[in-house]
Homo-oligomer: A and B are copies of this chain.
């Protein structure tokens, strides 16, 4: 049984809490938050002892591994503490929001080489996984185009945006990680552009709520991503992989699969799963399960800290491209 501590007790803690409870071989032993009352709520809901004392927690016998689900700017601090304490780490994405802190993470993990997995949970979505496996097996031949749609039902609150690192670092980073993982290469050039169309709050913060991103891969494969902070018909999540031998597409998932016909609809489908918690629900469990399996077999989990670094470098290049109005060649170091 893997004894796991949950650092953080916000939104993501409520995602991981039930997944830990459901897993037959992982047990939630601690919930940490500098705000003890908040930690207590999560511990009450999913088990474990609440604490506001990280040192004590890491010295406890009752812990093998941690999930870091705290605000992004604290990741480096907690990774550092947990790695020094020799704990296996599962860290929510993004790794950090700037390259210097990411570099510091790499240094820490190089010095204290504990098992480390970055929570790019979408890699574990079964349908995306099936598509990626088919691409890797050559089902579509050489890749010509990879495309990703990620449109959210509605913009997050202004407070969230303020700390998000911008749309590319907060959200496009998921598409970037998936597409680089599927293509098995990193872009040599990125171009991104954006508009602020829906949310004056986002505009005031200098951020955008609708973006289009182009990545040019060394193989010549061209990648397109479109992201929107608003989508009136729900959480639109699609992938398209087009190559010399064919094309593969994922389909949006729905509340049910019935076909409905009525006075005002013919052959209608059910609403899309509402947002990422519903759409990617299973992937959170499967990601945690993969972490457990890797750690228990002594293997290095994937995606790792380099995947996190690369995705951040690309997302930052997108943001720079958007702000400067020119293509950027990312440097992976």
Contacts and interface: CB of A to CB of B under 8 A. Distances in A.
Interface string A234-254: 101000001011111111111
Nearest to A255: B130
A222 B226 contact: yes
B247 A258 contact: no
B214 A195 contact: no
B193 A189 contact: yes
Contacts of A251: 257-259
A23 to B, nearest CB: 13
A40 to B, nearest CB: 27
Contact of A214 (B140, B212, B228, B234): B212
A232 B262 contact: yes
Nearest to A256: B130
Given A258-B248, A268-B265, A221 B195 contact: yes
A61 interface: no
A233 B247 contact: yes
A318 to B, nearest CB: 12
Among A249, A250, A257: residue with most chain B CB under 10 A: A257
Number of copies: 4
Contact of A189 (B211, B232, B252, B325): B325
Contacts of A254: 266
A57 to B, nearest CB: 29
A142 B266 contact: no
Given A130-B258, A212-B214, A220-B210, A242 B265 contact: no
Contacts of A256: 126-127, 130
Interface string A149-185: 0010000000000000000000000000000000000
Contacts of A248: 258-261
Interface in A113-171: 126-127, 130-131, 134, 139-142, 144-145, 147, 151
A196 interface: yes
Given A127-B256, A246-B233, A226 B262 contact: no
7 contacts: A127-B258, A130-B258, A144-B228, A191-B191, A210-B220, A212-B224, A246-B262
Interface of A: 126-127, 130-131, 134, 139-142, 144-145, 147, 151, 189, 191, 193-198, 210-212, 214, 216, 220-224, 226, 228, 230-234, 236, 242, 244-254, 256-263, 265-272, 325-327
Given A130-B258, A191-B191, A266-B271, 5 more contacts: A145-B212, A145-B226, A232-B245, A245-B262, A245-B263
